[in-house]
Chains A and B, each alone.
Chain A
Amino acid sequence: DQQVKQNSPSLSVQEGRISILNCDYTNSMFDYFLWYKKYPAEGPTFLISISSIKDKNEDGRFTVFLNKSAKHLSLHIVPSQPGDSAVYFCAALSGGSGNTGKLIFGQGTTLQVKP
């Protein structure tokens, strides 16, 4: 049972435009949601997070939106840059932010930003 789903395996965007990556989840008890970026042959890098009590969090070019009623979140990258080309993973924190919490990842979306 896939609790966190990223239904788009890939996305291609022109440089300077907006990239929107989507994520759906099934468990309403998740406390936090996180986005990670992964380059080939490297481990995932933490990008941005959002608490389940908020609906928006912004950090520079990156904004995450959370719609709890729809169990949906999205990552917006504006403006997109070629260096943003990577695999993006959505993850949900289960079990609280304490030491027993664990991350459940989506399948990932490969973003390609064309110059």
Chain B
Amino acid sequence: EAEVAQSPRYKITEKSQAVAFWCDPISGHATLYWYRQILGQGPELLVQFQDESVVDDSQLPKDRFSAERLKGVDSTLKIQPAELGDSAMYLCASRSDALGQYFGPGTRLTVT
């Protein structure tokens, strides 16, 4: 069964450093999402892509976060500089034309 791939699974970084996460959606899925999930809360949408275009990045802290999906396939989410409050699970999801979104395993980020 096709899956959304994410790497790394875990990342520990010091504050003020740069960090990047990678996501490879299910083949053929045009829509890709990045979510942030803080412990005890539900996932919160950071950015949504349709192919290579950003559809919604209203919740993305653009002073330090950036996301790209240059060829409309895989995607990278970057944080620079990282802050202590960025510690969270970063989830990638993709969707075809169907309703449900398929999530990857996530990247657990710890900022020290």
Binding site for B on A (CB under 8 A): 4, 6, 9, 32, 34, 36, 41-46, 49, 89, 91, 93, 97, 99-100, 102-108
Residues of B within 8 A of A32 (CB): 99
Which of chain B's residues has its CB closest to A6's CB?
Answer: B42
Q: In the complex, are the beta carbons of B40 and A107 less than 8 A apart?
A: yes
Using a Cβ–Cβ cut-off of 8 Å, how many residues does chain B contribute to the interface with A? Answer: 27
Mask of B12-50 contacts with A, CB within 8 angstroms, 1/0: 000000000000000000110100000011111100101
CA distance A34 to B41 in the complex (A): 16
Which of chain B's residues has its CB closest to A102's CB?
Answer: B45
A–B pairs, 17, beta carbons within 8 Å = A6-B42, A9-B40, A34-B99, A34-B100, A41-B9, A43-B93, A44-B103, A46-B100, A97-B99, A99-B50, A100-B56, A102-B48, A103-B33, A103-B43, A103-B45, A105-B43, A108-B40
Residues of A within 8 A of B45 (CB): 102-104
